[in-house]
Structure 1
Amino acid sequence: MAALCFNNEICHRCCYLRTIKMKGNPGWKAITFFLIVMFCFGMCWFLHMELYMQRSYPSVHEMCIPGDAASKAEILISNYSRDHPVFLQLSDYFWVKNKSIYPLPYGTNGSEELLMKFLALTNHYQVPEEIRRLPCRRCVIVGNGHLLKNSLLGETINKYDVVIRLNNAPVHKYEKDVGNKTTMRLFYPESADFDPELDNNPDTLLVLVPFKPLDIQWMKIILNNEKRVRKGFWKMPPIIWEGEAENIRILNPYYMAVTAIQILESENMTAIPTTGMLAMTFALHFCDMVHIAGFGYPALTNKKQPIHYYEKVTMKSMAETGHNITLEAQAIKRLLQQGIISNLTYF
């Protein structure tokens, strides 16, 4: 109850004033205290839920305007273009007309030969036709934040045309809060420990975000069932992985470069974007309506609040990731304030 009360000044005053006035017969003291606690808890919960609902502004039923996200993104992103391929494809590396100037994760310089070997295994490089032919793409990016717990947003999330999920965030057992539709899942080897059957759909696109050449090599090894590599990862990726080759794509590193340089405004690209931040940049190039849900971290001083809806990991785990979450929070606020994206939860 304390957490709810202290999040709302009215609740705080109610609980405080009624408690300090509690005097009288000791026999009634315990009963009175119990009634006060229940009254305050009820008021705090009501106000907390009312505040939550007030902050849930956008709706999937909003009119989707073709090109709307693009017209807004052009204001923020210089040299904005939708001409860049969404996913890497084999033909790009047989005859390289515009060689990338950056190595991974911001470009493919130095990884061309490895990419050719991997892309030759998949033979699938496009977005599915049923998504490409949509006259207006309504997208939601489902973050992994603790805000989604008990949000009951599952049915709402399922109504979007494109549902983008991140890393190893589970769906099974959390359907009421996060839905069960997954159009794309952005991940990297260390975050590939999701259950392909329970947490994805049969046609879910498994989109690899390569942070280093070893990430592409891992995927090639998995598909070819070659000898596993155990060194070079900050966390051991799955040894056995059940992803289907026809559903696997590699996200164009162009979006990572745009995220670092234009969205985060990171000097010399020193801040490595999170998968969630990258997903927003991608969606601004791919979708016509971009909504987000479950983004935001607890305050840096809050050592006990879980950061994910599905586990009890706290902010301590973010200390050595290389991500600048303060910079990302500022970037997301700019996107929200300028109306470029909208939020199903609050930030």
Structure 2
Amino acid sequence: MEEAGQSREEISIQTPFSCPNRVRRKCSLSGTAGLTGREGQVARGSRDDSSPQEPCYPLRNMISKSRWKLLAMLALVLVVTVWYSISREDSFYFPIPEKKEPCFQGEAERKASKLFGNYSRDQPIFLQLKDYFWVKTPSAYELPYGTKGSEDLLLRVLAITSYSIPESIQSLKCRRCVVVGNGHRLRNSSLGDAINKYDVVIRLNNAPVAGYEGDVGSKTTMRLFYPESAHFNPKVENNPDTLLVLVAFKAMDFHWIETILSDKKRVRKGFWKQPPLIWDVNPRQVRILNPFFMEIAADKLLSLPMQQPRKIKQKPTTGLLAITLALHLCDLVHIAGFGYPDAHNRKQTIHYYEQITLKSMAGSGHNVSQEALAIKRMLEIGAVKNLTFF
């Protein structure tokens, strides 16, 4: 009886290194092989004092190693998740408020005067025939900052195009505008619906809309372009009432638009890239941008000389020109999709719709670093607001 009681007491005792009940039973059995009768019962039911129970070190080590492997895998997943969320471009976008930002008439002009000086809005946005036909006012500069030397070509172009601003824009008490750049940060931005809500949506060059509506919207009020950047199928990427605004950098640009709209013999030389030879547009949708905006963008924002050697010819990008135009036309100006990758990031694409990199800008005559500083100044003084990270 005492022996049996002693056995029961020993069963209830567990040393810090012994196994739980089920596991201990398996460990103890390994030392009882060949025992029979009372000896076997004692060995199976209690700890044998003469031969101490062997701790389960192998099993414990296996459990410990598995636990550390699981923790390491969870840590790796966490690191990858954080890296992915940071590297995703849509994490760099500012939230778009549900309510419209208040619009105050003349607000953009007042703030822009800090950059451009007290210039007047009397300057026409688009060139018109009467300014060159009835009153011959010689321009001080050649293209792209003036029309000096290109007046005859320009007269023929202005005779078949228009210059008016749509009544739907003119009648607005306060014009809310957004300039949609072509930058890679628009990719996965989901800004499409927000962009469509602006009164005026200005786009650049041949940046596509079809297939990217969720990120860039579908509304296009104006599209600035030059011959080499004209989309080959403008009806696909624009609305029926979109104004197609020609930015002339050289006299051949006037010659190109004239041959296209008048169906004359096409000119294939004089362009750094072959422009469309067939361009299906309504001439009444075409406008010629006043070179005044190119002049003040170059002079006031980039401090470029108006008279430059022909081999240098630095000039603003179409994007910076579009912002300058918007500050002249609109009361509230927002921008989206501006900014280039860092110079050392050679693999990052510069556009949301194609895979070209910053290397393609070499020899373009654009100083993207200087333009970035100009846009930052606009943001600092509140002349424009950025919908994407800059």
* Fold match by TM threshold 0.5: yes
What is aligned with 2:389? 346
State the distance in 1 between where 2:386 and 2:226 align: 25
The offset of 1:305, in angstroms, is: 0.2
* Matching of residue 318 in structure 1 with residue 352 in structure 2: no
Output the TM-score relative to the length of structure 1: 0.87
Partner of 1:69 in structure 2? 108
**SS of residue in 1 equivalent to 2:374:** helix
Percentage of pairs with the same residue = 57
How many Å apart are 1:130 and its aligned residue?
0.8
Equivalent residues of 2:260, 2:278 under 8 A apart: yes
Letter in 1 for 2:127: L
Conserved in 2, the CA contact under 8 Å of 1:58 and 1:343? no
Corresponding residue of 1:179: 217
Q: Given residue 83 of structure 1, which amino acid in structure 2 is its aligned partner?
A: D
Give 1:1-347 correspondences, 5 Å limit. 35-46=74-85, 52-53=92-93, 55-56=94-95, 61-96=100-135, 98-122=137-161, 124-268=162-306, 271-347=314-390
Equivalent position SS for 2:335: strand
The runs of 5 or more residues in structure 2 that have no matched partner are: 1-63, 308-312
Asked whether the equivalents of residues 306 and 314 of structure 1 are also in contact (C-alpha less than 8 Å), the reply is yes
Determine the C-alpha separation between the residues in 1 that align with 2:144 and 2:361.
19
Q: Secondary structure at the match of 1:197?
A: helix
TM-score when scaled to structure 2?
A: 0.78
**Structure with bigger gyration radius:** 2
Asked whether the equivalents of residues 60 and 138 of structure 1 are also in contact (C-alpha less than 8 Å), the reply is no
**Is this contact kept in 2: 1:73–1:80, CA < 8 A?**
no
| CA 175–106 in structure 1, closer or farther in 2 if over 3 Å, else same | same
| Per-residue Cα deviation, 1:195-243 (whole angstroms, up to 9, x for no partner) | 3222100000000000001001100000111111111101000111112
Asked if the contact 1:99/1:109 (under 8 Å) is kept, the reply is yes
Structure 2 distance, partners of 1:48, 1:57, is 21
Change (3 A) 1:28 1:273: same
Q: Name the structure 2 match of 1:15.
A: none
Residues 19-62 of structure 1, C-alpha deviation per residue, up to 9 Å, x if partnerless?
xxxxx859985x76654443223334456679634x45777710
1:265 Cα deviation after fit = 1.6
The alpha carbon displacement at 1:96 in A equals 2.7
* Closer, same or farther: CA 36–194 of 1 in aligned 2, 3 Å: farther
Cα deviation for residue 263 of structure 1 reads: 1.4
Deviations 1:246-275 (A, max 9, x none): 100000000000000011122446530000
| Superposed CA RMSD | 2.2
Distance verdict in 2 for CA 1:57–1:338, change over 3 Å:
farther
Matched AA of 2:326? A
